[in-house]
Structures are given as structure tokens and as C-alpha cells.
């Protein structure tokens, strides 16, 4: 049964409030998915965005959904209706897109997956607000205007809460998290490729702990 947009947005908000950071994961080997997810969860980061940028992504989502009970696994880099359908079948619990198109929004209306859509301008944010989206991804956060632009939107767009993603690092995440209209940030620094390839799950867990403490 497909939820209405308000219910889906409540699910998105709940996911955004789980931790200060949602890891944006590019995974090359699905065998790394479960130990990576367990390390992130152990470090206090339960929501995980696995991007559809590799052929291993859907298998990774499926494995995490089946084997890591406390993880809330989502799908990123969603571009089409087929992406939404495949991710939902794999067990994803939320979807994230870099931007939006009329076809993608129509597919999201018909999908059970709650969508966190990407925007880079106030006009895009207003258009999504008209459709009932109050929780948005600001992407690419740093190139698009960073903390200053997002902070400037807080007064004219008080209904919207953001997850800025793109160019954010551990050292700059707090600057975004201090904004009144930011619930969390997205970042790839929690799961660097070298740690995934070497299986350094302890190091990933430590990065997760540091990220989970950012709002402390």
C-alpha cells in the first residue's frame, strides 16, 4: 500500500533525525556491505545511503536489509522509476535523488519508498514544497553555496528542513549542523574506499563514533 506524501515525509524526517550524519556509500564489493553496516551501526550511525553508482549497490542494499537488523538502509543516486522499483525490491527503506524530474516525482508518488529529493536553488525547493515535500537534500552543498546560502533560506523557507550533501567533510559538518534548518548532513568520509577495500571496520566504526558525536 502506497503511503501519502505526508506519511512518507514523516518517515524521511525520522530517518534524518537518527544521527547527525547519513553516510553516502559507494561500494564496489557487495561482500563488504554487511561488516561495513555493522561498523556504522556500532558507532551510532544507523541510517546508511548506498548509492547506485556501482553494479554492487543493489546486492549491498539487499544484504544490509536482510542481515543488519538495526541498520536503516537507503538508496542514493536515484534517477528513474526503475531505480526506485529495484531499490524497493532490494529492501531499501528510503530513497535519495541528486535532483528531481517530473517522471521521477510521478514514480515517487506511486512508490512505497519515501523520497529525499535533491535541490540546489530556492525555486526548486519551492516547487517541491508545493508538492508536499518539507524535507530536502541540498546538493551539491558546498559548490551550490554552502552554509551561507542554506542559512539564507531559513527565513523565507521556514517550513523546509535540509540534509546538505556534497563537499562536506568531518571538519566542516558542524558548520552545517549549527543551522536551524539542517537536521543532518550527508557525507562520504565515513566509508573511504581504502578502508572498505582493506576491511578496516574498526576504523570505520571510529569514524562513525566521531560523526555521531557531532551534535553532542
Active site residue 137: yes
* Cα first-last separation, the chain: 38
- Supply the CATH classification number for the domain 5-209: 3.20.20.70
Tracing cell 508518488 back to the chain, one arrives at 109
Listed in sequence order, the DSSP H helices in 48-162 are: 57-67, 81-90, 102-110, 122-130, 141-144, 146-153
- For position 1, what pLDDT does the model report? 59
**Which of 13, 19, 47 has the alpha carbon at shortest distance from 136?**
13
The catalytic position among 13, 49, 67, 89 is: 49
- For position 3, what pLDDT does the model report? 86
Per-residue pLDDT of the chain (216 residues; tens, 9 = 90+): 578 999 999 999 999 999 999 999 999 999 999 999 999 999 999 999 999 999 999 999 999 999 999 999 999 999 999 999 999 999 999 999 999 999 999 999 999 999 999 999 999 999 999 999 999 999 999 999 999 999 999 999 999 999 999 999 999 999 999 999 999 999 999 999 999 999 999 999 999 999 999 975
Q: What angle do CA 24, 174, 38 make, to 5 degrees?
A: 40
Residue 140 preceded by cis peptide, ω within 30: yes
- For position 216, what pLDDT does the model report? 59
The catalytic position among 28, 82, 137, 210 is: 137
Output the pTM of the full model: 0.97
**Which of 160, 165, 172 has the alpha carbon at shortest distance from 143?**
165
Amino acid at each position: 500500500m502506497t503511503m501519502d506524501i505526508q506519511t512518507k515525509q514523516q518517515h524521511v524526517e525520522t530517518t534524518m533525525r537518527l544521527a547527525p550524519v547519513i553516510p553516502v556509500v559507494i561500494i564496489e564489493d557487495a561482500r563488504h556491505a554487511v561488516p561495513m553496516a555493522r561498523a556504522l551501526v556500532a558507532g551510532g550511525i544507523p541510517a546508511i545511503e548506498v548509492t547506485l553508482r556501482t553494479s554492487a549497490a543493489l546486492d549491498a542494499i539487499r544484504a544490509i536489509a536482510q542481515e543488519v537488523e538495526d541498520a536503516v538502509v537507503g538508496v542514493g543516486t536515484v534517477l528513474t522509476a526503475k531505480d526506485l522499483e529495484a531499490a524497493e525490491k532490494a529492501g531499501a527503506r528510503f530513497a535519495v535523488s541528486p535532483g528531481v524530474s517530473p517522471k521521477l516525482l510521478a514514480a515517487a508518488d506511486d512508490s512505497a519508498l519515501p523520497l529525499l529529493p535533491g535541490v540546489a536553488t530556492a525555486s526548486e525547493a519551492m516547487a517541491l514544497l508545493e508538492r508536499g515535500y518539507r524535507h530536502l537534500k541540498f546538493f551539491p552543498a558546498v559548490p551550490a553555496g554552502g552554509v551561507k546560502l542554506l542559512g539564507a533560506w531559513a527565513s523565507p523557507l521556514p517550513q523546509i528542513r535540509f540534509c546538505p550533501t556534497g563537499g562536506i567533510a568531518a571538519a566542516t559538518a558542524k558548520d552545517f549542523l549549527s543551522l536551524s534548518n539542517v537536521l543532518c548532513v550527508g557525507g562520504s568520509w565515513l566509508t573511504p574506499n581504502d578502508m572498505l577495500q582493506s576491511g578496516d571496520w574498526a576504523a570505520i566504526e571510529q569514524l562513525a563514533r566521531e560523526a555521531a558525536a557531532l551534535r553532542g
